[in-house]
Each structure stands twice: as structure tokens, then as C-alpha cells.
Amino acid sequence: MSTPLSPSGHFPITGAWLESDDPGDRKFLSIASLTLESGDVLEDVTICYQSWGQLNADGDNAILVNHALTGWSDVPGWWPLMVGPGLPLDTDKFFILCPNVIGGCQGSTGPSSIAPDGRRYGSRFPSLTIRDMVAAEVAFSDALGIKKYRLAVGPSLGGMRSLEWAIQFPERIGAICTIGSSAVATGDQIGTASIQIRAIKSDPHFYGGDYYEHERGPIEGLGIARRIAHLTYRTEAEMDVRFGRELQGDETGRYAVESYLDHQARKLAERFDANTYIVLTEAMNSHDIGRDRGGVAAALAQIKTPVVVLSIDTDRLFPPRLQAEIADLAPGARPLVTITSPFGHDGFLVEVEAVGDVIRGALTLG
């Protein structure tokens, strides 16, 4: 039997690639079984997480960080200058927790995990919803004895989960901060995401999702998906000003922007699992806080928890109108905060000072 490989075909699923790309003091917590919205049951669920700071005697200084699609539990690794002494998520004051989402590939139970029968889940891993992810986070919090968070904060997919926390468990959240997120997945988002999923599944090395025992995984398909996604994360203006029609200046004959997107594709393929990309993307497509709650407006009307909504003016993946909807319809929402950035959706990663100021303000509400 061959060694199980990562999607790139170069690094083992368990081992060096995982440790080097998810640094820090990782911990693993069992939450036993989890019944999903679909009725499927995930057995022996493990949550990988990292923490910073100390829980105080009153247990009221915990912060839940909900990472985005390709994020992971090491917040400083994907969100620099956000966690640490004196930083917005101040480790001298707060106990910060970031669990790797279920369906993930950096330690939590996901498609590359070993199933109870001793084989990797692969194509057998069940579909997930945002509510399933929150259910896992609640079980995780219970296991750690966290009764209430001062703040739940997250960008994109993380903001979706923060909203679900506020609707389902308002007594366990002092406040939430959603960043570049929405109350419902739009047709445009679903359309773009569906093409990315199609690219992965069309790769001849996908093997129906059961590629872990093969010498090569769907690196090309995952790379195409990442290239498409990355263009939605940035802006047309940035791509034109930064690259324009410049050639790379090597023997490949590529445009400079092609080389840039190739680089982004390689980086993701060396640390991420293609099946996880599909599972989490499909979960985001399913996002609709109004489902079985009378619609989006009725669901948002339930939120009395303080809500801080951060929008990025150039975000074309989660355009500002989607954040305005949350701020307008949630009774607990403060006025919409919009930051100006040339970097589009990825502005939440780049504009750390402006985003940090918003988080500091949100922490005063919890």
C-alpha cells in the first residue's frame, strides 16, 4: 500500500506537511459522536484547536475565533498581528480559542481522517452545513467548560458561523463580529463556487474523492479552483495596476498575473485537502440563516445579541450590500462599519490595523 499523500502528491496527509503548515501548540479534543442535520452521524469526532492567554477565574474572558475557508487553528499563521499582548485579541486580557472546523484538514475530523473502519473517509465523508459546524463548536466549548464567549469573531465562512451562534445560542455569546460575510449565500457566490468544485472533480486524479492511497491527488483541479477563488478575493483594479499585461520575463511566456495565480495555487495545494475544499465550499453554498426560520429577515430579527458588522468597500465576493442587510435587519446590530481597501475580500487579512480597531470596539460590547 502506498503512503497516503496530500493533494499535491508531495507531502503525507499526516506528518510533516501538517505540522509545518499548522505551527504552534495544537491540541486535540474528542467530542465523541455528532449527529448532523442530514441525519448522518460522525463517530469519534476530533477537534484540533489552539489557544492563547488564560481563562480568568470568572470564566468570562474567552473569545471564539471562527476561521475562514482555508484558514486553520493557528490564528497568527493566517491573521498576523491580531493575537498577542497588546494586539486586538489581547492575550494579556483574553483567552482566545480557535478550533479547526469539522470537515477540515488540519487536525479536525474531515475527509482525510481515518474513519471507524480504519480507512480514510474520502468520498464517504458526509455533507456538512454551517449549522453542523456550529454544533461541533458548541460541543467543543462544552468539553472545555466554556459557558459563554465574550465575542465570536470571524471573516467570511467564520462570519457565517458567528451569525448562527447569535441566533441559536444568544445566551452563550456576549457579542459577535462578522467580517466580509453574509446572512445567505448568493447565486453569484454559489455559481463561482460550483465551477471550482467542478474543476476539482474533473481532475483525472480525483478518483471520485478516494485519492489518498494513490501516488498523486487532484493537484491541477485544486489549483484551478484556487485560481478562480483568488480572483474573487482580490479586485479588478489591483490586478490591473499590479500586473496589467506584463509578461513574467522567463522562458514560460506567461503573463505576470498567471505566474501570481500559479503561485497561489501551489501554496494551497501543499497545505490543503481537495475533499475538504469541496466539503467546506458546499457548506458555504448551503448557508441561509433564514432556512426553516421564516426567511432571512425573520431570522435576523431574532438577533438581540450585539452585532458588529464589518464591510470592505471593494469586496466583490461578499459585496457591501450583504453586510448592510445584516446591520439593517438585526436589532442588536450597530451601524455598519466600512473600511476602504484596494484588496477586496482579502482586505480583512491586509488591513489589520483598521480591522483590529473594529474588533477592539466589538469587545467592549460583550
Task: Determine which one of 8, 51, 141, 156 is catalytic.
Answer: 156
- Indicate if 205 belongs to the active site: no
- Indicate if 2 belongs to the active site: no
> Which residues partner with 173 through β-bridges?
149
Supply angle C-alpha 352, 357, 360, rounded to 5.
120
For residue 16, give every residue at least 6 positions away whose Cβ sits within 8 Å of its Cβ, in sequence order, or none.
none
Task: Determine which one of 67, 230, 287, 345 is catalytic.
Answer: 345
- Indicate if 181 belongs to the active site: no
Which residue intervals of 145-255 are DSSP H helices? Answer: 157-168, 187-202, 219-233, 236-242
For residue 193, give every residue at least 6 positions away whose Cβ sits within 8 Å of its Cβ, in sequence order, or none.
281, 282, 284, 285
- Supply the DSSP symbol for 209: G
For residue 300, give every residue at least 6 positions away whose Cβ sits within 8 Å of its Cβ, in sequence order, or none.
183, 289, 325, 326, 329, 330
| Amino acid (one-letter) located at 6 | S
Task: Determine which one of 67, 315, 341, 346 is catalytic.
Answer: 315
Which residue numbers are catalytic?
A: 156, 315, 345
